């Protein structure tokens, strides 16, 4: 049996900073995730590189800010859509391809959203296997969007079902994960489980709806929690939990509208560069290495997964390709090492909207307008007290950081083209994975809940 850890990365969809009990929720029942936190490390200042999903997921896979890999925007759209001719470039290296080169069995289950053409699918980016819906669950045929192609469920690169019953998807994903773990328990494996929940529309199994104190949203969160509980129990049964690193997080903040999500105590929502759009839960558990019941308050990001996991398995990160993540293995182990990074840049599309250095966050733009706002996030996580006029020294220091990143990867709002960006992947003659057929016996021909106007992702 390998000394390298098994790695399970669980990434939820639109789960907010305040949606778990261990992050302060009093609405949602999350006993398994709360236990995960007590047995591992909870990160308080963990960020996704974008407040929407395609750029967020591309950044997590490659360790790069979205504009660096051409993922700032997608031919004018904020996320990728079915049949788009663009996606993650074949020239990019992913976490999966790094781990595969170290002898890992690799699988993704769930939402990919980095391109749905064959050239962009996860099986072309380091994953041995794929099972899942390749983009958001609202991108199928719905009562308010009847002209969309049917929602595809893929195995590797083949559509095995169109318009599946979404109430059963999390159970199917969990079962698929158990089968993969069983098949590879004697060798190191990397499982990326990209949950469907809690992206709207929310189709939730009856038992979780009935036990929820927060409607369908709370039921969906409980279903995620159940899935985590099943996985953790199975690892224990197989006797491999001690040397399995489990990472739990979310691709961006909650919509935090009337469906029940929360980013509290952060301000803002998904698709914004306030804290609520990009600061998300992150829990890591690895009994052999990570001290139980600990908290990390350093600035950390999903881009850190690429260099950190590479380091843990003894694979060098190429110095020829710029990445933006940092090795946070020392922080994870609680070895007392200094945080490797104190800076985070908040991009929306290809425009720089804010900068954080240490406890301070400077807002530069919001909704295409220049703003002058400065907050001390350690004292004011809700971004309520603007200190811009009181701390010219901090404004000056953070403005210099902003100027440097603009030179590096650009800022469309100020007309600056970055010097170190790489192009998105692009093909000719794209096709959607599915087409609607009136004579096909779909299980769910038309989803009966509207997706509600939203920035899909």
For 66-76, how does the pLDDT look when each residue is reduced to its tens digit (9 = 90+)? 999 999 999 99
pLDDT band at residue 258, thresholds of 50, 70 and 90?
Answer: confident
Asked if residue 451 is part of any domain, the answer here is no
Give helix 53-62 / helix 305-312 axis angle, nearest 10°.
Answer: 30
Task: Note whether 181 and 288 are same-domain residues.
Answer: yes
Give the structural domain span for 138.
Answer: 6-342
User: Do 371 and 397 belong together in one domain?
Assistant: yes
CA gap 269, 68 in Å, rounded:
24
Q: What is the mean pLDDT of the segment spanning 295-309?
A: 98
Residue 422, token pair as written in the block: 């790489």
CA distance 205 to 171: 9
Other Cβ atoms less than 10 A from the Cβ of 165: the count is 12
Counting Cβ atoms within 10 Å, is residue 382 exposed (0-12), middle (13-18) or buried (19+)?
A: middle
Identify the residue whose tokens are 């769910």.
444
Q: Which residue has the tokens 């998300």?
A: 280
Residues 167 and 257 in one domain: yes
SS3 358: coil
Mean pLDDT of 340-354: 98
The tokens describing 113, both together, are 């959203």
Please check whether residues 219 and 364 belong to one and the same domain.
Answer: no
Q: How far apart are CA 45 and CA 356, in angstroms?
A: 11
Tens digit of each residue's pLDDT (9 = 90 or more) over 32-57: 999 999 999 999 999 999 999 999 99
Crossing angle (nearest 10°) for helices 31-38 and 215-238: 50
> What is the C-alpha separation between 224 and 185, in angstroms, rounded?
23
Beta carbons of 315 and 269 less than 8 angstroms apart: no
Do 443 and 153 touch, CB atoms closer than 8 A? no
Of 311, 342, 373, the one marking the end of a domain is: 342
pLDDT at 451 over 80: no
Quote the pLDDT of residue 2.
Answer: 59
In a domain, 45, yes or no: yes
Element of type H or E holding 402:
helix 392-409
Residue 1 has pLDDT above 50, yes or no: no
CATH of the domain at 315: 3.40.720.10
Same domain membership, residue 393 and residue 334 = no
Element spanning 425, H or E: strand 425-426
Give the per-residue pLDDT at 259: 85
pLDDT tens digit sequence for 213-230: 999 999 999 999 999 999
Q: Verify that 381 and 329 share a domain, yes or no.
A: no
Residue with tokens 């909704």: 367
What six digits make up the tokens of 326? 């940092």
Single residue among 342, 362, 397 that ends a domain in this structure? 342
Catalytic residues: 53, 113
CA distance 72 to 79: 9
Same domain? For 153 and 39 the reply is: yes
Tell me, yes or no, whether 349 and 312 share the same domain: no
Q: What is the pLDDT of residues 87-114, one digit of tens each?
A: 999 999 999 999 999 999 999 999 999 9
- Average pLDDT value for residue range 241-263: 94
Closest CA to 250 of 227, 224, 232: 224
Confidence label for 204 from pLDDT (cuts 50, 70 and 90): very high
Total domains present in the chain: 2
Establish if 90 belongs to a structural domain.
yes
State whether residue 392 is helix, strand or coil: helix
Average pLDDT of the segment spanning 438-451: 90
Q: Is the pLDDT of residue 370 over 60?
A: yes
The Cβ of residue 149 has, within 10 Å, a number of other Cβ atoms equal to 18
| CA within 13 Å, CB half, 434 | 28
Q: Are residues 127 and 117 in the same domain?
A: yes
> What is the rounded average pLDDT of the residues 356-373?
96
For residues 185 and 322, membership in a common domain is answered with yes
Residues 449, 143 contacting (CB under 8 angstroms): yes
Clarify whether residues 229 and 364 are in a common domain: no
24 in a structural domain: yes
The verdict on residue 456 lying in a domain is no
User: Encoding tokens for residue 142?
Assistant: 């719905």
Output the CA torsion 257→258→264→266 (10° steps).
20
123 and 234 together in one domain: yes
Tell me how far apart the terminal alpha carbons of the chain are, to the nearest angstrom: 39
Average pLDDT, rounded, for the chain: 96
Residue 249's beta-bridge partner residues? 11, 282
Query: Of 73, 55, 77, which Cα lies nearest the Cα of 64?
Result: 55
Q: Which two tokens stand for residue 60?
A: 């997590």
Distance CA 167, CA 108 (A): 20
Helix (H, G, I), strand (E, B) or coil at 179: helix
Stretch 104-129: mean pLDDT:
98
Instruction: Select from 280, 308, 342 the last residue of a domain.
Output: 342
Predicted confidence (pLDDT) at residue 414 exceeds the cutoff of 90: yes
């Amino acid at each position: 049996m390998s000394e390298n850890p098994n790695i399970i990365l669980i990434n939820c969809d639109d789960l907010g900073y305040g949606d778990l009990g261990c992050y302060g929720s009093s609405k949602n029942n999350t006993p398994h995730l709360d236990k995960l936190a007590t047995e591992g490390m909870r990160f308080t200042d963990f960020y996704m590189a974008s407040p929407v999903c395609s750029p967020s997921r591309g950044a997590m896979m490659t360790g790069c800010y979205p504009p660096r890999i051409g993922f700032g925007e997608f031919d004018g759209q904020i996320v990728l859509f079915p049949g788009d001719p663009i996606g993650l470039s074949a020239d990019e290296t992913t976490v999966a391809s790094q781990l595969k080169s170290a002898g890992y069995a690799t699988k993704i289950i769930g939402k990919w959203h980095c391109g749905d053409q064959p050239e962009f699918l996860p099986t072309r980016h380091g994953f041995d296997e794929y099972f899942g819906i390749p983009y958001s669950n609202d991108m199928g045929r719905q009562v308010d969007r009847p002209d969309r192609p049917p929602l595809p469920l893929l195995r590797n690169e083949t559509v095995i079902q169109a318009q599946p019953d979404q109430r059963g998807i999390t159970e199917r994903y969990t079962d698929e994960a158990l089968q993969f773990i069983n098949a590879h328990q004697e060798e190191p494996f990397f499982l990326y489980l990209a949950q469907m929940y809690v992206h709207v529309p929310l189709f939730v199994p009856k038992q979780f709806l009935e036990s929820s104190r927060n409607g369908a949203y709370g039921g969906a969160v409980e279903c995620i929690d159940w899935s985590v509980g099943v996985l953790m129990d199975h690892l224990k049964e197989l006797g491999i939990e001690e040397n399995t690193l489990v990472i739990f997080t979310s691709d961006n903040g909650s919509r935090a509208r009337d469906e029940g999500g929360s980013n509290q105590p952060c301000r803002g929502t998904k698709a914004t560069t306030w804290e609520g759009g990009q600061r998300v839960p992150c829990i890591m558990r690895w009994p052999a290495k990570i001290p139980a019941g600990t908290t990390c308050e350093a600035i950390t990001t999903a881009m850190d997964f690429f260099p950190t996991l590479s380091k843990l398995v003894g694979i060098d990160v190429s110095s020829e390709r710029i990445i933006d993540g940092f090795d946070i293995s020392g922080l994870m182990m609680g070895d007392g090492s200094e945080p490797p990074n104190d800076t985070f840049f908040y991009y929306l599309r290809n425009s720089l909207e804010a900068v954080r250095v240490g406890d301070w966050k400077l807002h530069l733009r919001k909704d295409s307008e220049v703003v002058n706002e400065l907050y001390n996030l350690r004292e004011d996580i809700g971004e309520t007290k603007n200190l811009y006029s009181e701390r010219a020294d901090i404004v000056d220091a953070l403005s210099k950081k902003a100027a440097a990143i603009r030179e590096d990867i650009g800022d469309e709002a100020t007309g600056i083209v970055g010097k170190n960006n790489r192009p998105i992947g692009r093909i000719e003659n794209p096709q959607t994975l599915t087409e609607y057929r009136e004579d096909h016996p779909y299980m769910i021909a038309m989803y009966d809940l509207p997706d509600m106007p939203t920035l899909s992702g």
